[in-house]
Amino acid sequence: MNLIFDFGNVLFDLDLPAFEREMKRFAGEPNYLSAKEHLLKERVFELYETGGMSSEEFVDKIVHHSGVAPEKVVEAWNAIFLDFPRHRLDMLLELRKKHQVFMLSNINPMHEIWVADYMDRQYGLRNYDVLHFDGVYFSHLIRLRKPMPEIYEYVLADAELKPETCMFFDDLPENVEAARKLGIQGIWHDPKTEIADRLKSLNLL
């Protein structure tokens, strides 16, 4: 079986509301809500996630609309990360003994760098991606994002996989549904539960 994992809230525990919470603290709630309206209208988050703007351009946009200092924007942006427990790294190595294991993530350059630094700081891993996955697909590098069907088609073609041989785990129902429409066995993961337990229940571990 080929196993494809989302990253955030499947493997790496996140506090997704943290960015807005911190921005409201730095900018004041009314000011940030006004800034958010402009950022969404200009598709700033989507563009950054699909390689349409650099980190500097992204931060500048948020600074422009919110008035928050650049270093505070970066602090808020990275505040979503909680923990990648060691046992999940061990789980991935165990899975690779029997399966091909891939990561498919909507992620941006700042978060990619933060995660790589975390893995080095926390576990002394400078190439966690190569060690734990047969392939890693980041939205900002392939310029596609979930739930666009093209991103799943890209992974299948690049890794030379047949959809019926793949299981895809994601915490967002719309991403799971998009995978299912292409013939991939999509499985919704509740972030409040442990992914290793789910894999054991499916006899994958």
Torsion angles phi and psi, residue 61, rounded to 5:
-60, -45
Sign for the pseudo-dihedral over CA of 112, 118, 123, 124: positive
Q: Record the tokens describing residue 172, joined without a space.
A: 């967002």
Q: What is the pLDDT of residue 155?
A: 98
Q: How confident is the model at residue 26 (pLDDT cuts 50, 70, 90)?
A: very high
Tens digits of per-residue pLDDT, 105-114? 999 999 999 9
Which pairs from 67-70 meet CB under 8 Å and 24+ separation?
Answer: 67/27, 67/31, 68/23, 68/26, 68/27, 69/26
* pLDDT score for 93: 97
Nearest to 92 by CA among 193, 191, 182, 10: 10
pLDDT by residue (tens digit) across 46-86?
999 999 999 999 999 999 999 999 999 999 999 999 999 99
Q: Is pTM beyond 0.85 here?
A: yes
Residues 200, 88: Cα–Cα separation, whole Å:
13
